[in-house]
């Protein structure tokens, strides 16, 4: 988040020069889509088509007010107030930021670390290069500015004089301003700018085409990078993470922010190979009702809804049996032994009572609970 604020303040400095460019230079520049500058190994992509309206909605929401109570976000209060004071009743800033698209993409920069790439569509204001971008950037107080050529682009480096290890790298490619705190990531963006990877990816296009509505934000997740990304936080390999990485392709969300609610509505594309996810995707969904009895301390609520439990059970066991035939035989044998021992039929005496939902619930950890403690909620007829 602190990096995001630095990028916003850098944009403010640039837009002061851009206003002059708008007056002096009106000839159009070559236009290309923002996604062309996003490398193909993006883990997550967040985009907005209106930077000014997006910031206004975030900063005035109750969700943001709540986040500011957190010590990490509270440290940003001074920057937050400075930015709001600059934008308030500032017609020039409103003109420059209005209907300005922004993309933030997350990438691995090493086996144990990640960083963001920012892409802003300057449109015709990219003519700032004609009056010397380096001279404008020198107005960024507290930064030492230098430039260098990389292929057919110029990369500008802003080094924090108080912390020389903190460097902002940026370039303007046609109409697009590209910024990162990792030089190698910016170079990768330049390397791939003509590949049109995202426009040629049929699975990604399939997800983006299904998104609709006027929400200010969209988010995409690339599951091919999930396994590598998870290793930053997990101490050992996760079979669940591997399964999701191999089963899913992309998820796309429309994000809606209203008052106290942050909602995600979207679609996920499934890999063509067999998987638990694909097997469950063929199940007709049921009504979700278990949430009505969940306490306020609920931290996570993962629900599986199905109109017919036996269809759900059959598809799940069939998929498991395809890759674990011997284990499945052992499971069937243990079920038969249990039924003989107790004199019951799981089908008639238990499965027949299951309704349309099974939910896994995690409550907020307390003094007497363990981090791994979970609850299973089964809705009965």
Band (171; pLDDT cuts 50, 70, 90): very high
Helix 51-59 × helix 77-87 angle, to 10°: 130
Question: Which residues share a beta bridge with 351?
Answer: none
Q: Return the sign of the alpha-carbon dihedral for residues 243, 117, 115, 7.
A: negative
> What gap in Å lies between CA 343 and CA 337, rounded to an integer?
10
Select the more confidently predicted residue: 137 or 11.
Answer: 137
- Sorted by where each begins, the domain ranges of the chain are 2-200, 282-381
Task: Give the pLDDT confidence score for residue 15 in this predicted structure.
Answer: 54
Range with the poorest average pLDDT among 31-35, 235-239, 290-294 = 235-239
Task: Give the pLDDT confidence score for residue 73 in this predicted structure.
Answer: 64
> What gap in Å lies between CA 297 and CA 276, rounded to an integer?
30
Range with the poorest average pLDDT among 76-90, 167-181, 219-233 = 76-90
Any idea what DSSP says for residue 284?
Answer: P
Give residues with Cβ within 8 angstroms of 228, minimum separation 6. 108, 111
* E-assigned strand segments in the chain: 44-48, 102-110, 113-121, 143-150, 153-160, 167-173, 176-180, 217-222, 248-258, 261-270, 298-305, 354-363, 375-380
Is this model's pTM higher than 0.75 or not?
yes
> What gap in Å lies between CA 185 and CA 42, rounded to an integer?
11
Task: Give the pLDDT confidence score for residue 79 in this predicted structure.
Answer: 57
Give the C-alpha distances (Å, rounded to integers) separating 119 from 29, 104, 202, 319, 322.
17, 7, 22, 42, 45
Band (80; pLDDT cuts 50, 70, 90): low
Q: Does pLDDT of 262 surpass 50?
A: yes
3-state secondary structure of 103: strand
Give residues with Cβ within 8 angstroms of 305, minimum separation 6. 285, 286, 287, 288, 356, 357
H or E element, residue 152: none
Give the tens place of pLDDT for each residue, 329-349. Answer: 998 999 999 999 999 998 888
Task: Give the pLDDT confidence score for residue 191 in this predicted structure.
Answer: 97
Give the C-alpha distances (Å, rounded to integers) separating 33 from 123, 170, 193, 326.
10, 18, 10, 52
Task: Give the pLDDT confidence score for residue 23 in this predicted structure.
Answer: 44
Band (222; pLDDT cuts 50, 70, 90): very high
């Amino acid at each position: 988040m602190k990096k995001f604020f630095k990028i916003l303040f850098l944009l403010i400095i640039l837009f002061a020069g851009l206003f002059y460019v708008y007056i002096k230079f009106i000839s159009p520049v070559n236009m290309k889509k923002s996604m062309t500058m996003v490398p193909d190994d993006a883990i997550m992509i967040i985009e907005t088509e209106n930077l000014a309206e997006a910031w206004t909605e975030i900063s005035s929401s109750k969700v943001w007010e709540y986040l500011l109570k957190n010590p990490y976000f509270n440290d940003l209060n001074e920057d937050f107030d400075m930015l709001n004071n600059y934008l308030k009743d500032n017609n020039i800033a409103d003109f420059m930021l209005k209907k300005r698209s922004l993309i933030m993409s997350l990438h691995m920069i090493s086996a144990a670390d990640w960083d963001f790439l920012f892409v802003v569509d300057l449109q015709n204001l990219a003519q700032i290069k004609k009056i010397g971008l380096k001279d404008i950037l020198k107005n960024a107080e507290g930064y030492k500015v230098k430039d260098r050529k990389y292929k057919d682009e110029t990369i500008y480096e802003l080094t924090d004089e108080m912390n020389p290890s903190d460097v902002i790298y940026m370039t303007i490619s046609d109409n697009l301003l590209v910024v990162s705190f990792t030089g190698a990531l910016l170079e990768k963006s330049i390397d791939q700018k003509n590949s049109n990877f995202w426009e040629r990816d049929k699975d990604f296009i399939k997800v983006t085409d299904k998104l609709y509505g006027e929400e200010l934000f969209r988010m995409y997740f690339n599951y091919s990078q999930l396994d590598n990304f998870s290793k930053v936080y997990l101490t050992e390999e996760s079979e669940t993470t591997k399964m999701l990485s191999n089963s899913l392709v992309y998820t796309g969300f429309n994000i809606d922010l209203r008052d106290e609610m942050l909602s995600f509505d979207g679609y996920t594309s499934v890999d063509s190979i067999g998987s638990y996810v694909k097997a469950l995707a063929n199940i007709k969904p049921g009504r979700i009702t278990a949430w009505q009895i969940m306490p306020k301390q609920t931290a996570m609520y993962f629900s599986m809804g199905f109109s017919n439990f036996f269809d759900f059970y059959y598809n799940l066991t069939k998929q498991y049996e395809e890759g674990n035939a011997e284990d499945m035989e052992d499971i069937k044998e243990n079920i038969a032994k249990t039924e003989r021992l107790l004199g019951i039929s799981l089908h008639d005496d238990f499965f027949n009572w299951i309704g349309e939902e099974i939910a896994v619930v995690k409550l907020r950890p307390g003094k007497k609970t363990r981090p791994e403690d979970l609850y299973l909620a089964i809705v009965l007829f």
